[in-house]
Amino acid sequence: MATTTTTTGSTVLEPLSTAFQLPIDQVNFVVCQLFALLAAVWFRTYLHSSKTSVLIRHLVATLLGLYLALFCFGWYALHFLIQSGISYSIMLIVGVESMHKYCFVFALGYLTLCQITRVYIFDYGQYSADFSGPMMIITQKITSLAFEIHDGMFRKEEELTTSQRTLAVRRMPSLLEYLSYNCNFMGILAGPLCSYKDYITFIEGRSYQLKLSEANGKEEIKYEQTEPSPNTAVVQKLFVCGFSLSIYMTATKILPVDYNIDDSFCTTASVPTRIAYLYLSLLAARPKYYFAWTLADAINNAAGFGFQGYDRDGAPCWDLISNLRIRNIEFSTSFKMFIDNWNIQTALWLKRVCYERASFSPTVQTFLLSAIWHGVYPGYYLTFLTGILMTLAARNLRNNLRHHFLGSPNIKSGYDAVTWLATQMAISYTVAPFVLLSVKPSLRFYSSWFYCLHVACITVLLILPARSCQKSCKEQEYLQHTWGKKLDKVEENHSARDSSAINNNCRQKQETSWRHSTLKQ
């Protein structure tokens, strides 16, 4: 029998829900995303910017988005309009000087209120799709745009960082542009977040020319140039979606996460067995996100949105708003590398609205904001509070130890193997409460491990000094330069390029350009 879940959305697909034994709202979500994929192809083919006015493209994108929201969530979709409408009114009434603060507080507060209502009144503990998911993306868009308008229309040019100057919006959007940005059919159900300027550039048909200009460094761009096709990128991403979904549907039944807190398993299994199962069970939970985010990315690409430029081989890159890099996630050798490649657009949002603007403890503030934005399950807060410790401790370890292992390729390979194992263990340990959700099972999980990694992180922070990034990067540059000379003394130019690359990596850690940070690692 199908899993029963209360829904206010359409019940037309109830037979499909019963056949696949899935909640009706999850079936609605997947079918609507597949419909959005077809609509995106139609939108790019028949409502291309060269054939249709900007007004029509905005109208169609908005109306299709609201229809999909209504199909999935019924009258709960009104929350999307209420949140967007009130935020737009705040921007008009308050003005550019303070709109970013009021919009941030209102949008995040309204989202939190809806999450509290959904979790503690309706369906606590359900993993099914819910209306607060799209509201999380809309909250990101509302707050991002408010900060971008504040930067573009109030702050002085010299006060802005590189990324703030790039993203700054110089005029107030119309109500239609605002609703189209927040509620378009390509991103209303699963995102991902994109900047307002990128979205408007796409709707107006200037994204290809703009990216060519950025890549080639030329001002004059001919509009008759052929636009690259996203078909190859879309097909590749759909293949990833199908593979991820099949893995998730089978692996989660074989490797349930809550078995990590089974009394019999905790008392009888050996430590290596428990470590292996913890890693595999959390590994099996990730394809759900791979499926949803990759499908959302494919939908935007199918509509012609997401063109990033060309790679070194001249192939078009369709990863402007990609939300993850699976290979980098699964082979992460540091906690930071995992975070930088997981839910990329959310990480950039946190960086732009919090980390870069925080007056004190930016890491702590960013993790707390992430916890509040994700929802009100206690497991979320346990995960992100643990994540603060993990991040600070991992940073200390890396800055104090890593440069000692760059002397030769063999030592570096051994170091990477050890850090990969440690990173996967740390990630699994940290995010287990995120999946378990409630306080009791989450604390039971940590207590069954005797809070070992919490203790280890605190010990690292107390013992190891907090070395500056600049100092460790200089040491890394020196070691890498001498390593390159040992490998091949003849290739002096090659060594110079390696040294330059390390300097760039060091600068990237301090850079505020969000476009460069999406390509990092």
The ranges assigned to domains in the chain are 13-210, 229-322, 325-488
- pLDDT tens for 10-44 read 889 999 888 888 888 889 999 999 999 999 999 99
- Compute CA 516 distance to the chain's CA centroid, rounded to the nearest angstrom: 15
Distance CA 402, CA 472 (A): 9
Q: Which of 31-35, 445-449, 492-496 has the lowest mean pLDDT?
A: 492-496
pLDDT band at residue 210 under the 50/70/90 scheme: low
**313-321: long-range contacts, CB 8 A cutoff, minimum separation 24:** 316/228, 316/229, 316/230, 316/233, 318/230, 318/233, 318/234, 319/518, 320/194, 320/198, 321/192, 321/193, 321/194, 321/198, 321/297, 321/345
CA distance 357 to 366: 10
The continuous run of DSSP H or E covering 301 comes out as: helix 287-302
Q: What is the pLDDT of residue 105?
A: 97
303 to each of 119, 226, 231, 299, 308, how far by Cα in Å? 34, 16, 10, 6, 14
Per-residue pLDDT at 495: 40
CA atoms within 13 A on the CB side of 395: 17
3-class secondary structure for 304-328? CCCCCEECCCCCEECCCCCCECHHH
- pLDDT attached to residue 21: 83
Among residues 181, 183, 177, the alpha carbon closest in space to that of 73 is found at 183
Cα separation of 485 and 257, whole Å?
48
What's the rounded Cα separation, in Å, for the pair 297 and 295?
5
Residue 491 has a pLDDT of: 38
pLDDT of residue 130: 79
What are the structure tokens assigned to 150, written together?
A: 């504040």
Positions annotated as catalytic residues are 343, 374
To the nearest 10 degrees (0 to 180), the angle between helices 132-153 and 196-203 is 90
> Which residue type sits at 79?
H
CA-wise closest residue to 381 among 317, 329, 444, 430: 430
Task: Compute the mean pLDDT over every residue in the chain, rounded to the nearest whole number.
Answer: 86
Q: Give residue-wise pLDDT tens across range 273-291.
A: 999 999 999 999 999 999 9
Instruction: State the pTM of this model.
Output: 0.85
Lowest mean pLDDT among 117-121, 172-176, 312-316, 445-449: 117-121
How high is the pLDDT of residue 514? 41
Residue 51 has pLDDT above 60, yes or no: yes
Burial degree of 72 (CB within 10 A; 0-12, 13-18, 19+)? buried
Percent of the chain with pLDDT over 90: 72
Percent of the chain with pLDDT over 70: 83
Name the residue among 282, 302, 400 with its Cα closest to residue 342.
Answer: 282
**Predicted pLDDT of residue 25:** 87
Residue 2: name the closest of 254, 249, 16, 255 by CA: 16
User: Once rounded to an integer, what is the mean pLDDT over residues 327-332?
Assistant: 96
DSSP for 37-71, please give it: HHHHHHHHHHS-TTTS-HHHHHHHHHHHHHHHHHH
Tell me if residue 11 falls in helix, strand or coil. Answer: coil
Higher confidence at residue 243 or residue 210? 243
- Confidence check: pLDDT of 337 > 70: yes
Residue 199: partners with Cβ closer than 8 Å, 6 or more residues away: 180, 181, 184, 305
pLDDT in tens, 56-92: 999 999 999 999 999 999 999 999 999 999 999 999 9
* Residue 122, pLDDT score: 67
pLDDT, mean of residues 367-386 = 95
Contact status, residue 420 vs residue 332, Cβ threshold 8 Å: yes
Cis-peptide, bond into residue 23, ω within 30° of zero: no
Summarised one tens digit per residue, pLDDT across range 102-161 is 999 999 999 999 999 888 776 655 544 578 899 999 999 999 999 999 999 999 999 999
CA 290 to chain centroid, in Å, comes to 11
Q: What local confidence, expressed as pLDDT, does residue 373 receive?
A: 97
pLDDT at 502: 35
- Distance of alpha carbon 446 from alpha carbon 84, whole angstroms: 40
- Res 211: pLDDT: 57
Q: What is the pLDDT of residue 513?
A: 42
User: In the prediction, which pLDDT does 123 show?
Assistant: 63
Closest CA to 187 of 146, 234, 137, 231: 137
pLDDT, tens only, 245-270: 999 999 999 999 999 999 999 999 99
pLDDT grade for 395, boundaries at 50, 70 and 90: very high
